[in-house]
């Protein structure tokens, strides 16, 4: 809400308009120049790639098939949830003996909470053919810390068990940091990337570039905040 580059662009442009209307032409001109600079460097130029790649390529998928996988933890997360769920379902087919835990509740900080999204994911996975006895759904968590904490408390993983963590590549550094704090050994399994050889935000794709830059800034701030508060390491 406060630091998203796309929001800052709107605020600076609005401030420039107010300054010009009120007769403060010098300040208005400087603010217009600043808004144009932000638009070029963040919107027209795909600069988000340089912020996203260090996060998205920190963890890769295992190079070989794992033995005795106890479970697969899938984290929900806004618009990318369908992709995560579908990729995790494919992973569940690869490891037919593993249980599947989906974790994702409402991300509201205030107001009523509900697990409607989690129940929809449950319905989708069952419709796809996942056996009910393999599926566990956690629908109270509001963020990555609660995702992993509540899921751990629900399934109570034992030392030495192999568990896989399926979530977006950009979220994995923070999620794996949380798992280390909670002493839950997870094997990273990224489900989707924003950057890479075949997925790249090109020049002049302003809405897409602004969205990716917002996501990158949010994730870096989240990672920093988690480490400063001891929720990740």
Q: Cα angle vertex 70, ends 143, 80, to 5°?
A: 35
What domains, with CATH codes, occur in the chain? 56-190 (3.40.50.620)
User: Torsions phi, psi of 45, nearest 5?
Assistant: -90, 130
Q: Cα angle vertex 196, ends 195, 201, to 5°?
A: 45
Mean pLDDT score, 9-35: 94
What pLDDT digit, counting tens, does each position of 96-148 carry? 999 999 998 776 666 666 678 888 999 999 999 999 999 999 998 989 999 99
pLDDT of res. 197: 56
**Read out DSSP for 146-173?**
HHHHHHHHHH-PPTT-EEEEEE-GGGHH
pLDDT of res. 199: 52
What pLDDT digit, counting tens, does each position of 165-220 carry? 999 999 999 999 999 999 999 999 999 888 875 555 578 888 888 999 999 999 99
Q: Cβ contacts of residue 129 below 8 Å, gap of 6+? A: none
Pair of tokens at residue 212: 């990716």
pLDDT of res. 118: 86
What does the alpha-carbon distance between residue 65 and residue 67 come to, in Å, rounded to a whole number? Answer: 7
pLDDT of res. 27: 95
> 70 vs 140, which has greater pLDDT?
70
E strand spans, 50-98: 69-75
pTM to 2 decimals? 0.88
**Measured in whole angstroms, how far is the alpha carbon of residue 75 from the centre of its chain?**
9
3-state per-residue secondary structure call for 123-140: HHHHHHCCCHHHEEEECC
Measured torsion, CA atoms of residues 111, 113, 117, 120, in degrees rounded to the nearest 10: -130
């Amino acid at each position: 809400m406060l630091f998203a580059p796309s929001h800052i662009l709107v605020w600076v442009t609005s401030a420039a308009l107010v300054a010009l209307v009120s007769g403060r032409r010098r300040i208005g001109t400087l603010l217009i120049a600043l808004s144009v600079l932000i638009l070029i460097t963040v919107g027209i130029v795909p600069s988000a790639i340089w912020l996203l790649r260090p996060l998205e390529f920190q963890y890769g998928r295992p190079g070989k098939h794992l033995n005795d996988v106890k479970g697969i933890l899938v984290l929900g997360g806004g618009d990318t949830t369908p992709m995560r769920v579908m990729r995790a379902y494919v992973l569940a087919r690869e490891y037919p003996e593993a249980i599947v835990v989906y974790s994702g509740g409402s991300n509201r900080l205030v107001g009523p909470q509900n697990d409607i999204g989690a129940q929809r994911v449950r319905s989708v996975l069952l419709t796809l053919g996942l056996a009910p006895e393999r599926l566990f759904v956690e629908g109270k968590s509001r963020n990555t810390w609660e995702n992993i904490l509540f899921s751990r408390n629900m399934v109570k993983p034992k030392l030495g068990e192999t568990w896989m963590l399926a979530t977006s590549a950009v979220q994995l550094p923070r999620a794996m940091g949380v798992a280390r704090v909670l002493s839950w050994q997870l094997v990273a399994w990224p489900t989707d990337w924003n950057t890479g050889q075949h997925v790249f935000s090109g020049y002049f794709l302003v809405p897409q570039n602004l969205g990716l830059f917002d996501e990158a800034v949010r994730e870096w701030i989240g990672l920093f905040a988690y480490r400063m508060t001891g929720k990740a390491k």
